[in-house]
């Protein structure tokens, strides 16, 4: 048996992208593409239908169910050092299992059996990185390839929802969501974490990629745009290209400069772009906006919740066959009749969070934007995102210091970042007084000060702060 990462480093054509084949509905498309440009990796039973470079299994039961296919369809088979058994982490290691398992023993004797450390294992065995997975094997496969050094990964059959490709109808009653989850959507959280941590270029093969996300510059603080970029990248389960553009019409040049994988099957010919308002914070996976059905010329905006006033939305999705037409739709879509209200209302960005059902927050009022004021009731969400971006060195501290020197952000924000305090209502008096004479750019009056309208807001801020501190302590303990 050989460690997967050692094996990977010895392989030829490391520049070639990888394609992960799962059992989801888009697996039906695999015959439509010329896949010769890819190394192929199958998930579980997908090895039955296609010869692959590597067959990836987490659960030992799959090895029993696909024994013949694994021998004849896969060049190599890779499992965790502690395989799962019946959808639960196992306690027996491969060196304990192989001698008594005929298939695994033959693969090991032929130098075709590979292994890695999975995060669910009871202990670490090797010296390589630990592969992360929480819900489904696709998470582990993307993490495995990214940590090994693959820079471009595509997928077919790695889908949300709760169904298989028709090629796997015989398994629907036996293995479909056998781990007790309601749908496969949860796997995208793990994939998003891997993309964010490693920078791997990942996307479904049948969709245009990368996601093109644009923010229309407003001439004010660029810090808000950096926080927007961080917030959407952190949660996106596809690779994102983020671009600041001067007008919505400038999306045409941004689309034309977006490229896929050289030598790989071409993405669909239609064009798409997500356009965000300045001052937006993304709380959900923008893959949900990108993978919209249909390919006609259109621009979509979120539906309004009952009682919400009419007005421009936080985000638009523009799609067209030609880049010039896409620019026209994007330019007119903010306020014009061209936009249809077909996106989920949670992407509207207005109002307060309702039971967590909000995908974006748009800080539209210039007097209450968290980088110039402490008064917005959701300012703590934006500041917490900024703190994460600084902690991960996505936004250097000197950028915030420069913004403060230039008078583009409130002075107390720099104090919050230095203290690591996400709660504007909990700043000490010495920090609050720094804002006394601060006047936001482009205005003639001081910013709103941040006194809570409801005294209970302070208690809520204290509770949030305590939860954050407790979470940080637990993470530090796990990291020891």
In the structure, what pLDDT confidence band is assigned to residue 262 with cuts at 50, 70 and 90?
A: low
Between 199 and 341, the higher pLDDT residue? 199
CA-to-CA distance for 422 and 381, rounded, in angstroms? 8
Q: Using 50, 70 and 90 to split pLDDT, how confident is the model at 309?
A: low
The pLDDT confidence band at residue 325, using thresholds 50, 70 and 90, is confident
Residues 345/359, Cβ–Cβ less than 8 Å: no
Q: What is the mean pLDDT of the segment spanning 378-389? A: 95
pLDDT of 259: 58
Please state whether the peptide bond connecting residue 160 to the residue before it is cis, i.e. omega within 30 degrees of 0.
Answer: no
**More confident site: 307 or 99:** 99
Alpha carbon distance 48, 73 (integer Å): 7
Place 93 in a pLDDT band, splitting at 50, 70 and 90: very high
The pLDDT of residue 447 is above 80: no
Q: What is the mean pLDDT of residues 450-475?
A: 81
pLDDT (0 to 100) of residue 348: 86
Strand duo 315-320 + 298-302: pairing: antiparallel
Mean of the pLDDT values across residues 302-327? 80
pLDDT in tens, 135-159: 899 999 999 999 999 999 999 999 9
Please report the DSSP string for 1-14 in residue order.
-EEHHHHHHT-S-T
pLDDT of residue 183: 79
Average pLDDT of 185-206? Answer: 95
For residue 298, what are the β-bridge partners?
A: 319
Q: What is the model's pLDDT at position 126?
A: 82
Tell me what pLDDT residue 445 has.
67
In the chain, what percentage of residues exceed pLDDT 70?
A: 89
Q: What is the pLDDT, as a whole number, of residue 458?
A: 85
pLDDT of residue 335: 65
Residues 6+ apart with CB under 8 A from 132: 119, 139, 140, 143, 190, 193, 194
Q: Work out the mean pLDDT of the chain and round it to a whole number.
A: 87
Mean pLDDT of 309-335: 80
Which CB contacts under 8 angstroms, 24+ apart, belong to 72-75? Answer: 73/42, 73/47, 73/48, 74/42, 74/47, 74/112, 75/112
- Give the mean pLDDT of 432-443: 82
Helix (H) or strand (E) run with residue 312 in it: none
Q: What is the mean pLDDT of residues 445-468?
A: 79
pLDDT band at 4 (very low <50, low <70, confident <90, very high): very high
Confidence tier at 251 by pLDDT (50, 70, 90): confident
| CB 238 within 8 Å of CB 196 | no
Query: Using CA of residue 244, residue 246, residue 249, residue 252, what is the dihedral sign?
Result: negative
Residue 131 and residue 145 in contact, taking contact as beta carbons nearer than 8 Å:
no
pLDDT at res. 478: 64
Whether the per-residue pLDDT at 448 is higher than 80: the answer is no
Segment 430-457 shows an average pLDDT of: 77
User: Mean per-residue pLDDT for 329-352?
Assistant: 77
Please compute the mean of the pLDDT values over residues 115-125 and round it to a whole number: 93
Sign of the dihedral through C-alpha 440, 442, 443, 444? positive
Instruction: Give the start-to-end residue ranges of the domains of the chain.
Output: 2-204, 211-347, 366-478
Residues 221-246, mean pLDDT to the nearest whole number: 94
Confidence check: pLDDT of 226 > 60: yes
CB atoms within 10 A of CB 76: 21
């Amino acid at each position: 048996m050989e460690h997967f990462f050692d094996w990977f480093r010895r392989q030829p054509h490391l520049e070639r992208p990888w394609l992960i084949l799962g059992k989801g509905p888009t697996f039906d498309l695999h015959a439509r593409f010329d896949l010769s440009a890819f190394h192929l990796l199958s998930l579980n039973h997908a090895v039955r239908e296609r010869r692959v470079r590597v067959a990836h299994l987490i659960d030992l039961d799959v090895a029993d169910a696909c024994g013949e296919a694994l021998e004849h369809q896969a060049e190599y088979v890779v499992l965790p050092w502690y395989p799962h058994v019946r959808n639960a982490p196992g306690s027996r290691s491969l060196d304990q299992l192989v001698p008594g398992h005929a298939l695994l023993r033959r693969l090991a004797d032929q130098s075709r059996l590979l292994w890695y450390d999975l995060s669910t294992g009871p202990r670490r065995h090797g010296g390589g990185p630990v592969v992360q997975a929480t819900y489904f094997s696709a998470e582990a496969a993307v993490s495995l390839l990214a940590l090994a050094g693959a820079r471009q990964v595509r997928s077919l059959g790695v889908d949300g929802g709760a169904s298989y490709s028709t090629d796997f109808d015989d398994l629907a009653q036996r293995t479909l969501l056998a781990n007790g989850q309601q749908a496969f959507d949860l796997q995208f959280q793990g994939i998003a974490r891997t993309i964010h941590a490693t920078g791997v270029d990942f996307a479904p093969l049948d969709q245009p990629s990368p996601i093109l996300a644009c923010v229309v510059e407003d001439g004010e603080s660029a810090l808000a745009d950096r926080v927007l970029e961080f917030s959407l990248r952190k949660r996106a389960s596809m690779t994102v290209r983020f671009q600041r553009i001067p007008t919505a019409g400038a999306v045409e040049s941004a689309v034309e400069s977006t490229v896929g994988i050289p030598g790989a099957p071409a993405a669909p010919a239609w064009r798409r772009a997500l356009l965000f308002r300045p001052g937006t914070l993304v709380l959900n996976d923008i893959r949900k906006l990108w993978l919209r059905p249909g390919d006609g010329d259109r621009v979509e905006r979120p539906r309004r919740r009952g009682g919400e006033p009419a007005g421009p939305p936080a985000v638009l999705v523009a799609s067209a066959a030609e880049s010039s037409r896409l620019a026209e739709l994007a330019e007119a879509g903010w306020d014009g009749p061209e936009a249809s209200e077909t996106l989920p209302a949670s992407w509207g960005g207005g109002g307060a969070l309702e039971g967590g059902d909000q995908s974006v927050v748009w800080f539209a009022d210039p007097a209450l934007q968290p980088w110039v004021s402490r008064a917005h009731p959701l300012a703590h969400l934006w500041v917490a995102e900024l703190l994460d971006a600084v902690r991960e060195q996505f936004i250097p501290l000197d950028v915030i210091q420069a913004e403060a020197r230039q008078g583009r952000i409130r002075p107390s924000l720099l104090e919050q970042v230095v203290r690591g305090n996400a709660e504007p209502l909990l700043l000490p008096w010495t920090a609050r007084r720094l804002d006394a004479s601060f006047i936001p750019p482009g205005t003639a009056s001081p910013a709103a000060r941040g006194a809570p309208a409801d005294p209970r807001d302070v208690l809520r801020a204290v509770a949030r702060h305590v939860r954050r501190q407790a979470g940080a302590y637990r993470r530090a303990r796990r990291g020891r």
